[in-house]
Amino acid sequence: MSRLNTVGEAAALSRELADFLIELSIGLHKNAIYPPGHPLLESATGGIARRVAALLQERPSLSLGVARHQLIIEGVATEDTNPVLRDLALRLHRHHLGAVKFTAGVTEQEVADVLATVAVEAGRRIRPLGLEGPDVLQQWPHVRLYPLTFEQLQLLEESPETGDDDDSMRGEKGRAAQLWIGLARAALVAQSDDIDEAKPESTDPMVIAKAIEEHKRDAAYDQVVVGYLLQIAEELKTKGGKEAAALQKRISRLVSTLNKDTLSQLMEMGGDVVQRRKFVVDASQGMAVDAVVDLVQAAAASSEQNVTHSMIRMLKKLAVHADGGTPAARPQADVALRDQVHRLIQNWSLDDPNPDGYRLALEKMSKASARARVVAEEFDCEPERLLKMGLEIGVHGPPLVRAVDTLAARADLAPLLDILDAAPPGWIAERVWRTVATPARLRTQLDRDPVAMPVVTRLVARMQLAAVTPLLDALEASDERMANMIAELLGSLGASVGPLLVARLAVARWPVQRQLLAVLGRLPERPSGFDANAWVTHPDPAVRREAFRILLRATEGRDATITAAVADRDERVVRLALGAAMNACPAAAARILMERANDPALSPDLRALGVRVLASHRSPEVLHWLVQRVEGKKGLLFKRGLASKSPEMLAALAGLAAAWTQDPNAAAVLQTAQKSSDPEIVAAATRRAGGAA
């Protein structure tokens, strides 16, 4: 039997495709931070359009499949550790997009429109792009967005009354439901939008399998389907419950129904050797046993490897016992099959397809009784016993070390940490803690998906500053939700973490810089030598906001900070400054606010707030300006009039009423306003300092 060679055999993206994906990710990022018409957007759009045109000279179309942290392009999955490509995949995934397809003839304007559309964060839209209709997803002649989920339909567990094969939809919507419906929609309507949502047969596994087999081969179509298969395998590996059980039955029926050629082609489209191996390992933990055997054969075929008939016979024999064996044999056969598949895929490296020694080993495995398996599993709890005994009696030796290594190698560290937390204090417990709470162990936990945050929190609390570097590295590759949790952990380490954050600040990505500044702002004291002024001119408004927050909390240099902030082009920065200057506006800031009162870049309510803050600076210049904002042109008989009502005019009138009632010019304007027939003008003119009328 031959096994996959995982060393030096993984397919890699061509330089042209890798450069295209990176430039696409950067272009989306620029569209997210720069306003329309910015020169940097034009250059980014032009570069992407030229790369697409060059790539389409050699192929009729170019398709990107979307997984959560990876992209699939021309059969190769990108590395989920690449922060730029991971960010692009996450951005598309949050929009519920399963694939993006470019066809020959795409124009620079189409590229610009697509970038501007996708760059808007999913949370800022009424709904993600993938939930929009064809008028949005198909609005460009040569670019098409494929949806990931179909929210209106729901997948429900099978009804005991109707039997396991009933695929009617009922119950509460969940992720498993969305994945299955997304796969059904991708298989049936990837090239059209005529799915009949009312027909339950539209989501029957056999109908979906037939649609996949009969569909003409198309990269975008295959990559959408593969994207769903990858996510479903991962979902089944980590989730349980009735809804997951329903999803398991459907996906297992689908895999078993697909013919070998179609399944092998989908496996090949699913990425390189490493990606296929991960998919089969995940599927082996969650799919039905007969589907697992089919996937093993398809993975071998797509990788041009061979699995011997002896191994296939053994796996099928185990599958038969797992499905229809005695009550005692079924769980043992199920565990044995999944374990053998896991070991097979993880160590698929032998070159000789039929070495004699290996063939004899397989024969022995297929004939061995289940008793040996039962005896081995009786010792599953032994590491816990050994560790507890060693901690209790104060004996440290090889058995305890092996017990700790066994427990620490498991995915879930919570049981090990529970034992250590309950252990009597002493040198042995401290020594074990030093073995367990290490930067390498923390990195392993942070690389899991999903991350077990309770375990990470306990490790960080134990490690203190030793946890900072792994946390910062994880922060670089995290999405926004995970980044917020990591930032909270960093902040929990206290003021001593400050210098380490400052050292990382200069080389971090912009989103990470914002998080680090936010953590620094929450520390009880600033690190020595740290000056947030270096970040108030940063191109990213989110970074500037955090820098201004830090500076506005300090008394030293506060007036200069307020003055710089009110001149910023980001409204949220301006709002921060106005809140800080509400009762004491610096003179320099007052002059800027007078200039920005007519600035169309600011919203009317923010301009009005600026006028109200401006009134707190009591100077003749401000008084004259406020009177002019309220006073209209003189009418007949030289009577005073009022300016047209606006938020800025009302704010200026309220400012005069709050601080300038003793001035003759202000008093005259206020008297005119108090006689107005408009209740808002009267209310603004009758206010007093402190808010009383």
Q: What is the pLDDT of residues 281-298, one digit of tens each?
A: 666 666 666 667 777 777
What is the reported pLDDT for 63? 83
pLDDT tens track for 420-457? 888 888 888 888 898 899 999 999 889 888 889 999 99
Contact yes or no for 446/475 (Cβ under 8 A): no
In a 13 Å sphere around the CA of 396, the CA atoms on its Cβ side amount to 8
Tell me what the mean pLDDT of segment 335-363 comes to: 58
Contact yes or no for 511/483 (Cβ under 8 A): yes
Q: Who has greater pLDDT, 652 or 367?
A: 652
What is the reported pLDDT for 275? 59
Give 132's pLDDT tier (boundaries 50, 70, 90).
confident
Per-residue buried b or exposed e for 644-658, using 16+ beta carbons within 10 Å of the residue's own CB: eeebbbbbbbbbbbb
pLDDT tens track for 186-238? 666 544 444 444 454 566 777 776 777 666 656 556 666 777 777 777 777 66
What is the reported pLDDT for 616? 85
For the chain, what is the mean pLDDT? 76
In a 13 Å sphere around the CA of 298, the CA atoms on its Cβ side amount to 25
Give 20's pLDDT tier (boundaries 50, 70, 90).
confident
Residue 10 has pLDDT above 70, yes or no: no
CA distance 72 to 64: 6
| Residue located via tokens 């078993």 | 256
Contact yes or no for 332/374 (Cβ under 8 A): yes
In a 13 Å sphere around the CA of 390, the CA atoms on its Cβ side amount to 24
Any idea what DSSP says for residue 296? Answer: H
Tell me what the mean pLDDT of segment 289-309 comes to: 65
Give 573's pLDDT tier (boundaries 50, 70, 90).
very high
Q: How is residue 124 written in tokens?
A: 């800022």
Share of the chain above pLDDT 90, in %: 9
pLDDT tens track for 377-403? 444 447 888 888 888 877 778 888 888
Residues forming beta bridges with residue 66, ordered by sequence position: 71
Helix axes 205-214, 242-257, angle to 10 degrees: 40
Contact yes or no for 98/64 (Cβ under 8 A): no
What is the reported pLDDT for 239? 63
- SS3 of 478-531: the string is CCHHHHHHHHHHHHCCCHHHHHHHHHHHCCCCHHHHHHHHHHHHHCCCCCCCCC
Find the range with the poorest average confidence among 95-109, 271-285, 650-664. Answer: 271-285
Residue 460 has pLDDT above 90, yes or no: yes
Residue 564 has pLDDT above 90, yes or no: yes
Strand 97-103 relative to strand 76-77, pairing? unpaired
What is the reported pLDDT for 165? 37
Any idea what DSSP says for residue 691? Answer: G
Contact yes or no for 296/307 (Cβ under 8 A): yes
Residue 565 has pLDDT above 80, yes or no: yes
CA distance 550 to 220: 47
Q: How is residue 250 written in tokens?
A: 């459907």
Tell me what the mean pLDDT of segment 153-177 comes to: 39
CA distance 18 to 10: 15
- Exposed, middle or buried by CB within 10 Å (0-12, 13-18, 19+), for 109? exposed
Q: How many CB atoms lie within 10 A of CB 322?
A: 22
CA distance 484 to 470: 15
Q: Where are the beta strands (DSSP E) in 21-93?
A: 61-66, 71-73, 76-77
Alpha helices in 523-646 (DSSP H): 541-553, 558-566, 571-580, 587-596, 604-614, 620-630
Tell me what the mean pLDDT of segment 40-67 comes to: 85
Q: Who has greater pLDDT, 168 or 235?
A: 235
Neighbour order of strands in the sheet with 61-66 = 76-77, 71-73, 61-66, 97-103, 143-147
Query: What residues have CB less than 8 Å from 116, skipping those under 6 apart?
Result: 31, 36
Find the range with the poorest average confidence among 151-155, 324-328, 478-482. Answer: 151-155
pLDDT tens track for 594-622? 888 888 888 888 888 888 888 888 888 98
Find the range with the poorest average confidence among 15-29, 197-211, 526-540. Answer: 197-211
SS3 678: coil
Residue 560 has pLDDT above 90, yes or no: yes
Query: What residues have CB less than 8 Å from 483, skipping those under 6 apart?
Result: 475, 511, 512, 515
Q: How many CB atoms lie within 10 A of CB 36?
A: 8
Give 172's pLDDT tier (boundaries 50, 70, 90).
very low
CA distance 613 to 586: 10
Residue 262 has pLDDT above 60, yes or no: yes
Any idea what DSSP says for residue 689? Answer: G
* R_g of the chain, CA atoms, integer Å: 33
Tell me what the mean pLDDT of segment 346-369 comes to: 50
What is the reported pLDDT for 692? 37
Residue 352 has pLDDT above 50, yes or no: no
What is the reported pLDDT for 2? 32
Cα-to-chain-centroid distance, residue 279: 20
CA distance 642 to 644: 7
Tell me what the mean pLDDT of segment 242-248 comes to: 71
Residue 108 has pLDDT above 70, yes or no: yes
pLDDT tens track for 116-129? 888 888 777 788 88
CA distance 178 to 153: 8
End-to-end CA distance of the chain: give it in Å, rounded: 90
- CA 307 to each of CA 292, 318, 338, 477, 500: distance values in angstroms, whole numbers, following the listed order: 14, 16, 16, 37, 52
Alpha helices in 173-270 (DSSP H): 175-189, 205-214, 219-238, 242-257, 260-269
* Closest by CA position to 240, among listed 289, 175, 178: 175
CA distance 578 to 606: 9
Give 266's pLDDT tier (boundaries 50, 70, 90).
low
CA distance 10 to 477: 23
Element housing 417 (H / E): helix 414-422
Q: At 211, which amino acid appears? A: A
C-alpha torsion sign, points 71, 73, 78, 82: negative
Q: How many CB atoms lie within 10 A of CB 113?
A: 15
Q: At 145, which amino acid appears? A: L
Find the range with the poorest average confidence among 180-189, 264-273, 510-519. Answer: 264-273
Contact yes or no for 257/249 (Cβ under 8 A): no
- SS3 of 33-90: the string is HCCCCCHHHHHHHHHHHHHHHHHHCCCCEEEEEECCCCEEECCEECCCCCHHHHHHHH
Q: How is residue 175 written in tokens?
A: 């992720």
Residue 415 has pLDDT above 60, yes or no: yes
Q: Model pTM? A: 0.44
| Residue located via tokens 């061509």 | 14
